[in-house]
């Protein structure tokens, strides 16, 4: 009863003043990771971003935050990243596992299962699912010890909601992200750590193809989403205001997954 009373008295706020937040996969200035880092910074968090290339330092300089280079599919590099962030900023309290979303530099493998090589399968699983696993494992212990934390994983509508031919590996990985989210949420719920995921549909970024843009125009809202719109959903789930939400998937797709058929 005492815990329930304390929860009711806690302020419902979106602010993250003083909290250390890590956003992975934020190397593109037009991407979801960058937009999320900017929003968390504006909410008062001390933000770190990480990607696999040194361009992350340019993004960090633009935002006035701290950048790190690491291969998040490598267990040792994730451990070294955790130590470096702790030394420079403090213990991570908010983790956004955005790494893995495709880009022109790292395109999605598009082949039917019959033609998909095992190495291609593993590559998609590693960058879209293993990265979230390794980072969550590296930082969740400290959150649990402090009794507060937020983990938000980036899934997608492809996999958990729908799928297209030739994207089996990507869809399987993103469906796995939802499973990881729910399992971790139940493991950490008693420790004050909330774990959720956001599943974007068609989002317009610099990496969007003509086909993807056309798909966005066909949504009930009539356009693709923007990185800022996804970032707003992520930021809410990172905030104290989301204290009674855990193990959930928030779909951000302009209503596309709800529509049963297209009427003209």
In this predicted structure, what is the pLDDT of residue 110?
Answer: 86
Burial zone of 64 (CB within 10 Å; 0-12 exposed, 13-18 middle, 19+ buried): exposed
In this predicted structure, what is the pLDDT of residue 109?
Answer: 76
Report the 10 Å Cβ neighbour count for 155: 30
The answer to whether residue 112 scores a pLDDT higher than 80 is: yes
Domain chopping of the chain, boundaries: 20-252
The answer to whether residue 11 scores a pLDDT higher than 70 is: no
- CATH H-level superfamily of 20-252: NAD(P)-binding Rossmann-like Domain (3.40.50.720)
| Whole-prediction pTM | 0.93
Active-site amino acid positions:
170
Q: Give the Cα separation of 233 and 224 in Å (integer).
A: 16
Q: Give the Cα separation of 159 and 175 in Å (integer).
A: 5
Per-residue pLDDT of 182-239, as tens digits, reads 999 999 999 999 999 999 999 999 888 888 889 999 999 999 999 999 999 999 999 9
Q: Give the Cα separation of 198 and 249 in Å (integer).
A: 6
In this predicted structure, what is the pLDDT of residue 208?
Answer: 84
In this predicted structure, what is the pLDDT of residue 160?
Answer: 97
Per-residue pLDDT of 135-159, as tens digits, reads 999 999 999 999 999 999 999 999 9
Q: 10: left (phi > 0), else alpha (psi -120 to 50), else beta? A: beta
Tokens 């125009």 appear where? 217
Mean pLDDT in residue range 123-129: 95
The answer to whether residue 264 scores a pLDDT higher than 60 is: no
In this predicted structure, what is the pLDDT of residue 4?
Answer: 55
Q: Give the Cα separation of 11 and 119 in Å (integer).
A: 49
Would you say 201 and 219 are in contact if contact means Cβ atoms under 8 Å apart?
yes
């Amino acid at each position: 009863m005492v815990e329930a009373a304390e929860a009711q008295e806690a302020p419902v706020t979106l602010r993250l003043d003083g909290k250390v937040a890590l956003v992975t996969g934020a190397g593109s200035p037009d991407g979801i990771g960058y937009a999320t880092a900017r929003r968390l910074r504006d909410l008062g968090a001390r933000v770190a971003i990480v990607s696999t290339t040194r361009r992350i330092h340019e993004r960090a300089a633009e935002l006035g935050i701290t950048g790190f280079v690491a291969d998040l599919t490598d267990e040792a590099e994730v451990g070294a990243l955790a130590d470096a962030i702790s030394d420079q900023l403090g213990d991570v309290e908010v983790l956004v596992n955005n790494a893995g979303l495709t880009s022109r530099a790292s395109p999605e493998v598009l082949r039917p299962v019959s033609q998909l090589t095992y190495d291609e399968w593993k590559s998609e699983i590693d960058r879209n699912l293993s990265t979230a696993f390794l980072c969550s494992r590296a930082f969740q212990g400290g959150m649990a010890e402090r009794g507060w934390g937020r983990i938000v994983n980036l899934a997608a509508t492809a996999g958990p909601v729908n799928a297209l031919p030739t994207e089996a590996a990507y869809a399987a990985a993103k469906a796995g992200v939802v499973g990881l989210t729910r399992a971790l949420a139940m493991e950490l719920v008693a420790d004050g750590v909330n774990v959720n995921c956001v599943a974007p549909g068609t989002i317009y970024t610099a990496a969007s193809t003509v086909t993807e843009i056309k798909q966005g125009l066909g949504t009930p809202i009539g356009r693709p989403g923007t990185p800022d719109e996804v970032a707003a959903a992520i930021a809410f789930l990172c905030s104290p205001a989301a204290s009674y939400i855990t193990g959930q998937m928030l779909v951000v797709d302009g209503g596309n997954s709800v529509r049963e058929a297209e009427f003209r």
